[in-house]
Amino acid sequence: MRTPAHRRLGRSPLPVRVGAVLTAGALALSACSGDDDGGGGTAGAGEGSAAAVDVSEVVGTADGEVRGTVVDDAYRVFQGIPYAAPPVGELRFRPPEPPEPWEETRDATAPGSPCPQVAGATNPTASTEEDCLFLDVTTPAGLDASDGDLPVMVWIHGGSWRTGSGSNYDASRLALEGDVVVVTINYRLGPFGFLAQGDLSAAIGEAGSGSAGLLDQQAALRWVEGNIEAFGGDPGNVTVFGESAGASAVCAQLASPTAEGLVDKAIAQSYTCTAEYSTLEEAEQVGAGVAGTVGCTGTGEAVVECLQRAPVESLLTAWPATGGEFVVGGSSLPVQPGDAIASGDWNRVPVLHGNLQDENTLFVPLRIPAAELPGLLDPATYDAVLAARFGERAAEVARRYPLADHGSPLRVLAAVASDTGSALSTCDHVDAYETLAGAEGTGVYAYQFRDQTADPLFDFNGPPFSFPADRYDEGAQHAAELPFLFPGLFGDGLTPEQEELSTTMVRYWTNFAASGDPNGDGVPGWEPYSSPADVQGLDLAADGGVAPVDVAADANCDLWAPA
C-alpha cells in the first residue's frame, strides 16, 4: 500500500476538518498575493528540515506548462486548464475539439469561467461565457511524473444538466486523506450541451445533436488519460464519480461505446443508473420548439447557422424548464443505460451507487404552486390530501406514513416522493442495484446517506418560505452528503460527530477508487449488494452509525411495486 501523502511529506496528519483550508476562491486570492513567500507557500522548503520536499507549482502537460498553487506544502491545485477548444462559433453544439497548445507557462491559479447558465434559488452562478471547457486538478504535493501511481478521481458536478461548475468543489480532503488525485470538470450545460434538433443532427452526423455535454466529459477523461501522470496520477486507474445530474453522467458513460477504456471504476450518487432519457426523436421535437423561439425557422444549413449565431441569453431563456438531459440515439449513447447494463453490453467496471433517505424533500415544495403550500402544511388536511393524491390506496399510505411521524401532509408527500417514482428515489435505486448486481463480471456496492441533521442545500425554514420547523424538517435531502466529501460547499460546517462520518465516507470513496472495494482499515465492513438489506447506511453514531440497512423495507417498496 502506498504511504499516505502526509507521511511522505514528513508531516503529522492534517486535522480532520480540512474545510478550514483555502477554498477555490481563496486559493486564487492567495496566489495573487503569494510573491512574498516565494510562491504559494513553499518558503522554507529548501532549508534542510526533515519535511523538505519538492512542491513545484509548475507541471508540464501535452499542451504546455501550467503554474498552479501550493497550499501549506501539503497539496497543489491547478485551475482553469483547458481540455478542449472554446466551443464557440461553428463549434457551438458540436463535439469538442482539442485545445490549442501554448508556449508560455499558463497561469492556473484561478478557476476558468463556468459554462452558460442562469442563476436561481439553489444556484448563485450566472454565466454567458461559452469558452468554459476547463478542468481543475488537486494533488498531494511532492509528486511528479515519476510518482504517477496515485488513483485518479474525476468529478462530474450536478445541477439538473443546466447549472454548476467543477471549480465549486474543494477536493483537498479527498486528495489528502485519501491519497488520490482529483480532477473536477466543466461541461456544456442546458441548450449548449443537450440541444437536439433535426438540422443540427444532419450537420453533426452519427454522434447526433444533443450529445455535446456527454462528449465534453469524455474529452476531459481523454485529457486525464494523456496528462494526469505528470500530476502524480495513474492513467490506468481512473474513477469517474458524480452527484445528481453528475451521477446520471456517470451512468451514461457506463453505457457509452465512445467511453470504452476511459473509466476503470464508477461512483454514482443520487441518480439511478436505470433511469431513462429522451430519445433523439423526442429531443429533436423539443429542439424544434427552442429553434422557433429564438427565431431560427426553416430547414437546412441556414437553421444551423442561425442557432450558432443566436445570443446566449436567448437560448438560455428558450430552454425548457424541465428535461433537457442526455439524449439516447446517437453513436455516443445508442441505448438507454439501464438496457445496456441489463444486456451486458456496457463498459463493465466496479460500481458504487447510492442515494439519500429523504432525497425529494428538496424538490417537492418547489414544484407545488405557492398558494397550495399553506394547506399542505396544515395537519388538519392530512386525510383529504391523501385521499386526493392516492385514492383507494390512501388508507394504506396513511398506515405506512402516519402524520405523527411526519408533521404535515407536505412532508408525507415528500417522503413518498423520496421513496418511489423518480430517478432519485430509493425504490428506483434498488432497481438499479438489482440490475448492476446481475450484470456479468461486475457487481455493486450500495449505500444510503441517512444523517437527519445534515445541512440542507435549501432551507425551507427560512425566507422566502419560512415553513414551521416542526411541519417541514428537511432531513437527509438531496445533495446533503456533498459537504461530507467536499468541505465548505454549503451549510455551517460539520459537527464533530459529522466529521467522523465524513472521514469514513472519504475512506470508503477513495478505497474504492484505489481498488474497486470500499473496505479497508479503520472503516466498518461493507458487503457487495445481493439484496436490499445489504445497503450500507451512512449515519451518525448516535443514530445507527455506519451499518447495513434494509432500504426497501424502510421505503415501503412493496407498497409501490407495480401490480
Burial 148-157 (b: 16+ CB within 10 A, else e): bebbbbbbbb
In a domain, 315, yes or no: no
24 pLDDT higher than 60: no
State the catalytic residue, choosing from 160, 167, 211, 244. Answer: 244
Is 90 marked active-site? no
Residue 201 annotated as catalytic: no
pLDDT of residue 145: 62
DSSP string, 440-482: TT--EEEEEE--TTSPPSS-TTSTTT---TTT----S-TTTTG
Residues in the chain: 563
Classify residue 476: in a domain, yes or no: yes
Average pLDDT over residues 208-222: 97
Residues 337, 424 within the same domain: no
Q: Is the pLDDT of residue 15 over 90?
A: no
Are 338 and 417 within one domain? Answer: no
d(CA 79, CA 167): 8
Do 266 and 373 belong together in one domain? no
Pair 386, 268 in one domain: no
**The predicted structure's pLDDT at residue 121:** 75
The answer to whether residue 324 is domain-embedded is no
Task: Let me know if residue 495 belongs to a domain.
Answer: yes
Pair (274, 366) in one structural domain: no
Distance from C-alpha of 49 to C-alpha of 507, rounded to nearest angstrom? 30
pLDDT for the residue numbered 466? 92
**H helix intervals, 264-408:** 280-293, 301-309, 312-318, 337-343, 373-376, 382-390, 394-400, 403-406
Are 271 and 362 contained in the same domain? no
Q: Is residue 64 part of a domain?
A: yes
Question: What is the CATH classification number for the domain harbouring 106?
Answer: 3.40.50.1820
Please tell me whether residues 34 and 109 are part of one structural domain.
Answer: yes
Number of independent structural domains in the chain: 2
Q: What percent of the chain has pLDDT over 70?
A: 89
Angle (CA) 39 45 46, round 5°: 115
Domain identity same for 225 and 364? no
Other C-beta atoms lying within 10 Å of the C-beta of residue 545: 15
Rounded Cα–Cα distance for residues 274 and 428 (Å): 8
pLDDT of 323? 80
pLDDT tens-digit profile of 121-152? 778 889 999 999 999 999 998 776 666 699 99
DSSP 367: G
Question: Are 366 and 432 part of one and the same domain?
Answer: yes
Catalytic residue among 165, 406, 478, 499: 478
- Residue 319: inside a domain, yes or no? no
Q: Of the candidates 290, 321, 343, which is a domain's last residue?
A: 343
pLDDT one-digit tens code per residue, 421-477:
999 999 999 999 999 998 876 789 999 999 999 999 988 988 889 999 889 988 999
Residue partners of 537: CB distance under 8 A and separation at least 6: 447, 448, 450, 544, 545, 546, 547, 548, 549, 551
Residue 310 within a domain: no
pLDDT tens digits for range 323-347: 889 999 999 999 999 999 999 999 9
Cell of 528: 457487495
Q: Are residues 336 and 402 in the same domain?
A: no
Q: Are residues 40 and 64 in the same domain?
A: yes
Residue 19 lies in domain = 5-278+331-343
244 is catalytic: yes
If DSSP codes are grouped into helix, strand and coil, which group holds residue 184? strand
- The string of pLDDT tens digits covering residues 269-294 is 999 999 999 999 999 999 999 999 99
Catalytic pick from 243, 284, 359, 481?
359
Note whether residue 208 is domain-resident: yes
Whether 250 and 390 share a structural domain: no
